[in-house]
Amino acid sequence: MENLHHKQNKVNILLKWGIVFSILWLAGIGSLIAFVSAMKAKKMINDSNDELNGAGRVWWCLIVGGFGILFWVPIVLIGIVNQL
């Protein structure tokens, strides 16, 4: 069984990259990576009975990544419709 320090390290790495990709939008792909990273980290935190830290960074990635996705989807749909 993994110890708490090792699990915290995994959460920190996930959220570090989530924050980086939430800022680097990369045509929506960065936002998607940030959102998925936040969901994985949130599950790890919840499974640990909140013994792991990172809830604030999870919310950052969910909110900023979510806004990036909401911005990206209409642009892609408009692009597809314009090509038809």
Domain ranges (residues) in the chain: 4-83
Q: In the chain, pLDDT over 90 holds for what percent of residues?
A: 63
Q: Which backbone phi and psi does 25 adopt, to 5 degrees?
A: -60, -40
Nearest to 12 by CA among 41, 32, 36: 41
Q: Which residue has the higher pLDDT, 31 or 25?
A: 31
pLDDT at 28 over 90: no
Q: How many residues does the chain have?
A: 84
Tell me what pLDDT residue 2 has. Answer: 61
What pTM did the predictor assign? 0.83
* DSSP single-letter state for residue 49: T
